[in-house]
Amino acid sequence: MNKIKKSTFIKILLLVVVILLFVFVKPLNVGLKNMIGAFKDVESVKEYIRSFGVWAVVISFMMMILQSIAAPIPAFFITFANAAIWGWWRGAILSWSSAMAGAAICFGISRLYGRGVAEKFASKMALDDVEVFFEKYGKNTILVARLLPFVPFDPISYAAGLTPMKFGGFFLATGLGQLPATIVYSYASAKSSDPSTFVRGLLLLFGISALVYTVRKIWTDRNKKSVK
């Protein structure tokens, strides 16, 4: 029997310790359940964050990381709530920075533990769909996918960790790609009592712009290959 490499053992041990902490340490277990339970709607998220007083920023940050790891949870609830609580530009900074932290963690989980563990968080179907984007758009996948409103953010981060892509390139593209949507969500939430229509319109505009860019890029690349 081959000996388990030390690095592999440490990764497995770390994962087991984290799971056991949240299962058997009551404050962590209850806190996690309460946080997940707050994701009913924007108002529930706002009330939950505000209930922590001076720790509200930290809780909002942790909620964004939680929704990043547990991919099906909607991120815009938190972005709307942050803008409503702290104003659009402060809320945008908090939402963007916490989303970046969440994306980095998702990338790291995939890079450290592989596809099997990534599928537990993002689902096999979601990873398969995102990998189609990687096959089509190559190194531009992260930036393009972040701009498209119909492509979920978190499976992209998990899928990127399964590729040879360097973390620096992933992090930069993620930051640039997430910024427009974060600003739109935050501004709309702070300035309108019903921002959903405004947000959908602007995100559609971003999506069309990204799609045009993508089609143009593919067309240019194919023409270059045909010339060669």
Interatomic CA distance for residues 202 and 198, integer angstroms? 6
In angstroms, the Cα distances linking 64 to 1, 37, 98, 184 are 42, 14, 6, 17
Which of 47-61, 79-93, 129-143, 183-197 shows the lowest per-residue confidence on average (mean pLDDT)? Answer: 183-197
In-domain check, residue 186 = yes
Interatomic CA distance for residues 67 and 73, integer angstroms? 5
| Best mean pLDDT range from 4-8, 15-19, 80-84 | 80-84
Structural domain tally of the chain? 1
Interatomic CA distance for residues 77 and 8, integer angstroms? 37
169, amino acid identity: G
In contact, 91 and 46? CB cutoff 8 Å: no
- pLDDT at residue 146 tops 70: yes
In-domain check, residue 4 = no
In-domain check, residue 6 = no
In-domain check, residue 105 = yes
- pLDDT at residue 210 tops 80: no
In-domain check, residue 23 = no
pLDDT value of residue 206? 62
Interatomic CA distance for residues 83 and 125, integer angstroms? 32
List phi, psi (to 5°) of 49: -65, -45
53: alpha, beta or left? (left if phi > 0; alpha if psi -120 to 50) = left
Question: Domain range spanning residue 98?
Answer: 38-227
In-domain check, residue 73 = yes
The string of DSSP codes covering 181-199 is HHHHHHHHHHH-SSTHHHH
- pLDDT at residue 76 tops 60: yes
pLDDT value of residue 50? 97
In-domain check, residue 193 = yes
Confidence tier at 215 by pLDDT (50, 70, 90): low
In-domain check, residue 128 = yes
The residue-averaged pLDDT of 122-129 equals: 86
